Structure 1
Amino acid sequence: MAHGHARPVLLGLIGSPIAHSASPAMHEAAAEALGLEAHYQLIDVPGADAAQLQSLLAALAPIGFAGVNVTYPYKEAVLPLLDGLSAGARAVGAVNTIVVRDGRLIGHNTDMTGFSRALVQAFGPRPEGPVALIGAGGVGKAVAVALAAFDGVEIRLVDANPAKAEAVAASLAGHAAIRVCRSLAAALDGARGVVNGTPVGMLPDRGTPVPAELLRPGMWVADAVYSPLWTPLLTDAARIGARTMTGRELAIHQALDAFALFTGREAPAEAMARAFDRVVAPPAG
């Protein structure tokens, strides 16, 4: 099959540090499974200010990008630099997927849609609450909006920066039972679910956002981090018999949704999952 004529679909990821990202493997494998060719470029820019981000984004269309993903620490910073936002991205106040259309940059949030689907797959159609949500940054906000869509789930938000948490709670007031907790212990007291939406536990960090003694066997525990797949938080949770969801599910589902937005084609879930596992959880031995 000659691939020589069609130009490869140019995709990428803006963030830092991103060397461990599974996104290039997932998107390139998905394209290949559909008979397309994709090139997914890691665009690792540490410490970029608004002006640097602006010039980087301005270059995407002329260079020929179909779209890019955005990760830590730029999911919120790109917001005012885009030409338009999906309703979801506006609700979340963060963007993890930018689609280039006719020279215009449109922001989407597939962390929100991806987390929602991953959660249902892992824990059933109505995840039990109350849910302690740690982190009110880019991922935490997407998780909050996703959880708000489930009927009657109380969200207890906790963040090292209480003002950030208050802002997220205020934006969801009227759409969700959400309250800000000043301490982890308060958020976890009587909670049925726990979600880590912070980078705590992501290598090289070996910490956990939740001291093991606050976890209970009846809880479900989800982590957005997938490097390592089994974070200290999830290891602690599994040890006491709590149900767990690794960052694998969110990573795959947000990528599936992003790929569909980039290409207009439905992404083959199997190909993406295999690619993720090849990169992140290679078989032992």
Structure 2
Amino acid sequence: MAHGQARPILLGLIGSPIAHSASPAMHEAAAEAVGLKAHYQLIDVPGADAAQLRALLSALRPIGFSGVNVTFPYKEAVLPLLDELSPGARAVGAVNTVVVRDGRLIGHNTDTTGFARALVQAFGPAPEGPVALIGAGGVGKAVAVALARFPGLEIRMVDADPAKAEAVAASLAGHAEVRVCRTVEEAVDGAKGIVNGTPVGMLPDRGTPVPPALLRPGMWVADAVYSPLWTPLLAGAARIGARTMTGRELAIHQALDAFALFTGREAPAAAMERAFDRAVAPLAA
């Protein structure tokens, strides 16, 4: 096979903690399925400041990376360090995919496109609202922009830092009905949907962003966390008969969109789904 000699496409993930990430498995399997070879490197850097992030990003070009994904806690911190932002990334104010093109670093946000598609797949073309959205960080902002695409859906945002939620609400003014709530109780009261856009419930954390007593059987509940797949929030929702969407759907859909940006090739969904399921199986046990 001629392409076997070609240098593999170099990809990676910047964030912390990321040991449980399914991204290497998904991207390497997708590349193989379209006849490419990829190496996807986990770049786990806890507590990096702007100078360290800048050094890391500027090293991507000379080392020969085609791009990297960015996850918690750096989705917002990388913004000023990039050469260009896609309209989607600028609208969200967070980046989860950086493409290296002609020596320039271009930021995109595939959490938004990925979440919108995943939501439709799970709950139909018009998810019921109001929706309580927990978290106004990188993922929360992307989810808010995705929810704003559904006409007439009221979004109730709550964050430990109310100023962050206020900023998201201001950025979506005129595009969506966003109400900033002071407490999770206030956001969930009368809501038809709940989305967790925080890392609460991600291993080793066993907490839940929504007290189980607030969940109702008629609700739909989605979680951006996928390690474990059944977070305490989703397990509680499933127990009472609420409809659920695990972080699997968002993880796969954002990766499909990122792979297309990295390689210019459409990612084979089936290969990514299989790779994701293999990667998270040990966590689900």
After superposition, give the CA deviation of every residue in 1:148-171 in whole Å (9 maximum; x if it has no partner): 010000000000111111111111
Q: Which amino acid aligns with 1:80?
A: P
Measured in 2, the distance between the counterparts of 1:241 and 1:148 equals: 27
1:116 corresponds to which residue?
Answer: 116
> Could you say which residue in structure 1 is the equivalent of 2:274?
274
1:101 alignment counterpart: 101
Q: Confirm or deny that 1:136 pairs with 2:153.
A: no
What secondary structure, in the 3-state scheme, does the structure 1 residue paired with 2:47 have?
A: coil
Q: How many angstroms does 1:2 deviate by?
A: 4.2
Task: Compute the displacement of 1:98 (Å).
Answer: 0.2
What are the equivalent positions in structure 2 for 1:65-214 lying under 5 Å apart? 65-214=65-214
2:9 corresponding residue in structure 1: 9
How far off its partner does 1:7 sit?
1.1
Equivalent residue number for residue 232 of structure 2: 232
Give 1:185 deviation, angstroms: 1.1
Instruction: Give, in whole Å, the separation in 2 of the partners of 1:206 and 1:148.
Output: 30
Q: Which residue in the other structure is 2:256 paired with?
A: 256
Match in the other structure for 2:39: 39
1:45-68 Cα distance to aligned partner (Å, 9 max, x none): 111100010011001011100000
Cα distance in structure 2, aligned partners of 1:283 and 1:55: 33
- SS of residue matched to 2:5: coil
* Mapped contact 2:139–2:198 kept (Cα < 8 A): yes
Task: Give the Cα separation in 2 of the matches to 1:133 and 1:107.
Answer: 24
Distance of 1:243 and 1:41 partners within structure 2:
35
Q: Once the 2 structures are TM-superposed, how far is the Cα of residue 3 of structure 1 from its aligned partner? A: 3.8
Give the TM-score of the pair, scaled to structure 1.
0.98
Rounded Cα–Cα distance in structure 1 between residues aligned with 2:131 and 2:178:
10
Q: Secondary structure at the match of 2:153?
A: coil
**Alpha-carbon offset, residue 4 of structure 1:** 3.8
Per the TM alignment, residue 6 of structure 1 is displaced from its structure 2 partner at its CA by 1.3
Distance 1:183 1:97 in 2: 31
Structure 2: distance between partners of 1:207 and 1:283:
17
Distance 1:101 1:81 in 2: 15
1:241 to 2:241 alignment: yes
- Aligned residue for 1:75, secondary structure, equals coil
Letter in 2 for 1:170: A
Return closer, same or farther for 1:179/1:273 CA change in 2, 3 Å cut-off. same
Take 2:265 and 2:40, find their aligned partners in 1: how far apart are those partners?
16
Shift of 1:284: 8.3
The amino acid of 2:94's aligned partner reads A
Output the CA distance in 2 between the equivalents of 1:283 and 1:251. 15
Shift of 1:283: 10
Q: Which runs of 5+ in 2 are unaligned?
A: none
Partner SS state of residue 132, structure 1: strand
Give the distance between the partners of 1:282 and 1:199, measured in 2 at CA: 20
Equivalents in 1 of 2:241, 2:94: separation in Å? 34
SS in structure 1 opposite 2:77?
coil
- Alpha carbons 2:230, 2:284 under 8 Å: kept: no
> Residue type of the partner of 1:206?
R
Distance in structure 2 (CA, Å) of the matches to 1:187 and 1:166: 14
| CA distance in 2 between partners of 1:150 and 1:90 (Å) | 19
What is the SS of the residue equivalent to 2:144? helix
1:184-242 deviation digits (Å, cap 9, x = unpaired) = 11111110000000000001000000001101000000000000000000000000000
Q: Distance in 2 between matches of 1:212 and 1:128?
A: 20
Instruction: Give the TM-score of the pair, scaled to structure 2.
Output: 0.98
Following the alignment from structure 2 to structure 1, what is the Cα–Cα distance between the partners of residues 223 and 283? Answer: 21
The question of whether the paired residues in 2 share the 8 Å contact of 1:229 and 1:281 is answered with no
